[in-house]
Copies of this chain bind each other. A is one copy, B any other.
């Protein structure tokens, strides 16, 4: 409704001064600034974002692309909107507007995103999943694009802190008294306390691989008393393999899953596992965006790692005496 002109006229100052005061520029008399801020507040004035964007060439908007989740995505059970709320919480302090962009399902997502980009609708984009080819194209267009975990070709990434989680799992098992610990993590690298692990088995991420892993495990003699796996699906596979051989998971073998998924919901014993707080993921995404926007290099590397939270389960007790 009211423009910067009205505000300036009412106060008997120039619009330039009002603009400087409102934007927190240092070269404004303290008293003048106070008067201006008070008047703006009183009149509920707020700068026209279209005019500002036109002038500055940037929109102050961060987009969060919502592409309907693929069923087999490892992210499918991370609640999208919870992550969004996490981003929002961290972004609104910086007076950046966060908007969720719903990708039309029938139309091609590529066309949609391209249109948005060519219109310079946002200053930065957050994606979860998404196709690598599209990502690469976006990055080439100059928009900072940040994503989570697996996504390729982005400006920067937020990832799960696999190392820390893995190290925590080892520590827990050792503290429980386990001396023969096996691990089949799918993430590359070794945690600091890797020496506590006696057996390194084939990296596995699916339930089928978990069953194969069980066979591999059962060929060991003596049998380990504890096993660390990538996720609940692998745990389910291990459970099946153990039971086929007459053994009971939890009792005969302690199992810790590094990533809680929907598959673990109805598993008995309930897998001791790790979840990643959507709010924390969101906050990390927001901080990464902020970094990129303030000039941090966009080399596609992992900018921030989010720590997991341990979830008690009945699958990881003390070793049999």
User: A-side interface residues toward B, CB under 8 Å?
Assistant: 1, 44, 46-51, 53-54, 59, 66, 68, 80-81, 84-85, 88-89, 92, 97-102, 104-107, 112, 115, 118-121
CA A54 to CA B66, docked complex, whole Å: 28
Contacting residues, chain B, for A102 (C-beta < 8 A): 81, 84-85, 88, 98, 100
Q: Contact partner of A119 among B48, B99, B106, B119, CB < 8 A? A: B48
Closest chain-B Cβ to A320's Cβ sits at a distance in Å of 37
Contact status A92-B80, CB under 8 Å: no
Contact status A49-B99, CB under 8 Å: no
Closest chain-B Cβ to A182's Cβ sits at a distance in Å of 39
Closest chain-B Cβ to A268's Cβ sits at a distance in Å of 19
Q: Contact partner of A51 among B54, B84, B99, B107, CB < 8 A? A: B54
* Number of copies of this kind of chain in the complex: 2
CA A152 to CA B44, docked complex, whole Å: 25
CA A172 to CA B120, docked complex, whole Å: 54
Contacting residues, chain B, for A47 (C-beta < 8 A): 119
Given contacts A46-B118, A48-B120, whether A106 and B81 have CB atoms under 8 Å apart is no
The closest CB in chain B to the CB of A84 belongs to B102
Q: Contact partner of A85 among B80, B84, B105, CB < 8 A? A: B105
CA A47 to CA B88, docked complex, whole Å: 28
Contact status B85-A68, CB under 8 Å: yes
**Other CB < 8 Å A-B pairs besides A85-B104, A98-B102, 13 of them?**
A46-B118, A47-B119, A48-B54, A49-B50, A54-B54, A81-B81, A81-B102, A85-B105, A89-B104, A92-B104, A92-B107, A99-B99, A100-B100
Contact status A46-B115, CB under 8 Å: yes
Q: Contact partner of A50 among B1, B54, B85, B92, CB < 8 A? A: B54
Contact status B50-A59, CB under 8 Å: yes
